[in-house]
Chain A
């Protein structure tokens, strides 16, 4: 069975500071891993995904994530956060992106 754990329910970060969101997964084979962002009242938008190859993945809006097989992790990072990055972030795993298992999400608050 596949599952995703996002240990942090809520993170508050100052504008301009760095951000790291944690994601741990359980999956029986080589996983496809995703990070999505959801703004209030909106659907989800794909930030980045990992299928294979380079374990450091670049995404949109200045985000990157690193796949670490030994730690079963896929943490999301951004060097300098902008106020517009306040949203809910979801990590997901699956054999393909049309049938995913999602984590419970991490809400990011950005303070001025």
Chain B
């Protein structure tokens, strides 16, 4: 049981490049979320999805796009990378019933030069 899988684990980009961070879960979870974690700031919600075909913005959505074409996958796209997007990105998922815990991936560490 893989849980929440994020790829890649590390990536270095140049300013202006585009990239997709992958997130996949094998638990048939309806809810999926993307967070970024910066030193001294905790995690901040970027985008989330309550099911296939449904996405919405979180606290810090600018510069990021998401899509949810399948239940399993929730990719995060950086359209034109900026140094301010240097961060650790976490994907999380949760089943539909309210008492189920949220599962986090191990993160993607992204550096923008």
Contacts and interface: CB of A to CB of B under 8 A. Distances in A.
A45 B106 CA distance: 10
Contacts of B40: 9, 104
The dominant DSSP class at the B interface is strand
Given A4-B42, A102-B44, 8 more contacts: A44-B90, A46-B101, A90-B43, A97-B102, A98-B50, A98-B102, A99-B33, A100-B45
Classify chain B's interface size. Answer: 20 to 34
B50 A43 contact: no
Nearest to A105: B42
Classify chain A's interface size. Answer: 20 to 34
A34 B33 CA distance: 16
A101 B98 contact: no
B104 A44 contact: yes
The dominant DSSP class at the A interface is loop
A1 to B, nearest CB: 10
Contacts of A103: 42
A41 interface: yes
Interface in A69-101: 90, 92, 96-101
Interface string A33-65: 000000001111110010100000000000000
Contacts of B92: 43-44, 98
A101 B92 CA distance: 14
* Candidate in A4, A43, A45, A92 with the most chain B CB atoms within 10 angstroms: A43
A102 B43 contact: yes
Contacts of B31: 96, 98
A98 B104 contact: no
Given A98-B92, A104-B40, A41 B104 contact: no
Interface string B16-42: 000000000000000111010000111
